[in-house]
Chains A and B, each alone.
Chain A
């Protein structure tokens, strides 16, 4: 009886927007894995996005099915725990060099992925572990890449900032360089005519770079199917946005490119906004700009404690009021999409998965020295690569 009432209520609450849009992810799942007291879906109010050069924006309600909710929860929790494990391994000096962690921003990468197809393309900067995961790389391969082992997703050759997957082009170390690359990928999308788009991400720090404005210009001129996405986590390294930018309205910085400002801590907001932007690009109208307002709990990288330019109170406040995983959990529990117990079960499973992955990442051997010279050229007959002296040579195969 209660189930019927809930189902009827959710249908009533379902706005015209959600019903009208034929988006695969928001399709009403009638027959799902329902436990005794759970609803199959619920509708939520989401924050209205600020708009730039747009008459209409994304919908202000979103339907979340139980299945989707569980999937998003698990994915975000996996990324959270993976990043925390990386923190631990870094402090144990098992991970070296650069390590830019994504915890706090999970709603962004998971929300984006929920709105696009696996055949679409994504490129981002160095805070890339979450994207490597949502784009299909296994946790163990991500962690093993961080620990520099041969089982890493780039065989230990790339490290934290250089992870790649199908239609995921990293993982780029030079601030802002990935933005023109992303427009180039979008150009290829348009050229091949297969209705694919490219999500090109950058941070609030990179947003002031010249090459990004060059790219805006060309993307708009040539109507490239590119969504420029600024993950504004309020700090570019140690510089707050107020100290870095003459205009902190990053969603307006594309000038002639329409933009939306999105609550990046709410996965449904991110998803709906991305669907909206993707539709715009796929219809041939040209690029769009999305600013995701988000937050990182860690410092810029593992070398940055992250408390010299912001207060612990600020970090704590975001954690208690805006944590993306907690937000989703509360929504699901309060609307009978799941229970505290069920989500705890997922937590336990995730922890186990991360532990196993960490075990692999710390026991897998380092790449063999013989592979040092590989992957210099593609489709080239094997040749020799010089080592530190003229007597040390490595074989190179593509």
Chain B
């Protein structure tokens, strides 16, 4: 069985970026225990897989800051963590060679493997598919440590694109931040920049708890500057800590994932009118860094939350409730405001889709409303 174990490890430990890059032997010489799964691939998925396979990342550290796309940052993180710890491996939909569209099956397999001492990274093609497997994520992964009074930890990472993409329709556009953020036992992170993506993925893999990492498909190709220290193999972004992306004094904009970029764009426009926005990138949905938001509201006296998910029972609703309960409430000069996705299933037509998500103009409008200008 030792020989079979070796073959199994080689199979599951190749990252997506390594497929086609020469690191694996060609199909003919593959060991008997290996598999090539032939699964119908959706056009969207195929495109994404090819994009993931293109190697344009940079290994090792460079002397200065470099431009790195979110996709490459993720691949770097996967590369590094696979190398660092033998127990880390990949499985999921159309990922590496351990793949296939059997959502409940492979999600449960990931959780079981984690219970037995491995550290799987389980990829969903999009988090919409995780809805089918959500029982395994919440009931098997999230609750087991508690139910077993600490006996059975579940160090698994679930990752994949979350929320709206571009024209993928209602069933492929849902945001799950509120769904997973609701559940004790899980950690939920939501990166925006390349630094976020790399640091949070590495931190998630090293965390001994089940972590849901909500990425964003539209962000994969966006380049960000990555500082020298962020290129190190041990660069981690702490889970549970928000980041102030932009200092400001007049209003606090709290956001996560792609909306952080929209907030910064809105801030750049508003500064010309003399309004200084403080932009907070949540980075982690659960456990949420409420203290950072409170400190900011104490300073600016105004709060706007921005997210892609639906309004009811969402991330913004939670932030508002928590602010009311804490010291920052007394510093609010106006009620807190939420910007969210429109309360409808996501339509397909471009003009409709655009108007179902908070745009830069909506953020600017809200800031002026809140500041009464």
Q: List the interface of chain A (C-beta within 8 A of B).
A: 121, 123, 154-158, 162, 164, 169-174, 177, 179-195, 198, 210-211, 214-215, 217-218, 221-223, 225, 282, 284, 374-380, 383, 385, 390, 398
Contact = CB atoms under 8 A, between A and B. Distances in A.
B145 A223 contact: no
Given A154-B149, A374-B150, A184 B1 contact: no
Given A157-B149, A180-B109, A184-B112, A214 B5 contact: no
Given A214-B102, A221-B37, A390 B325 contact: yes
Given A155-B149, A188-B118, A217 B108 contact: no
A154 B1 contact: no
Interface in B59-115: 89, 98, 100, 102-115
Given A185-B113, A214-B103, A378-B208, 19 more contacts: A164-B151, A169-B112, A169-B115, A173-B139, A177-B140, A180-B108, A180-B136, A184-B112, A184-B115, A190-B5, A190-B8, A193-B6, A211-B105, A215-B105, A375-B148, A378-B150, A379-B153, A379-B208, A380-B209
A223 B146 contact: no
A154 B151 contact: yes
Nearest to A200: B112
A218 B106 contact: yes
Contacts of B349: none
A245 to B, nearest CB: 20
Contacts of A192: 5, 117
Nearest to A182: B112
A246 B35 CA distance: 32
Most buried by B among A173, A182, A184: A184
B121 to A, nearest CB: 13
Given A190-B1, A193-B2, A375-B150, A183 B145 contact: no
Most buried by A among B9, B33, B147: B147
In the A-B complex, the 3 residue pairs with the smallest Cβ-Cβ separation, listed nearest first, are: A184-B112, A180-B108, A214-B105
A374 B139 CA distance: 17
B148 A193 contact: no
Contact of B115 (A185, A211, A218, A225): A185
A281 B14 CA distance: 26
Given A177-B140, A211-B108, A375-B149, A184 B37 contact: no
B187 interface: yes
B333 interface: no
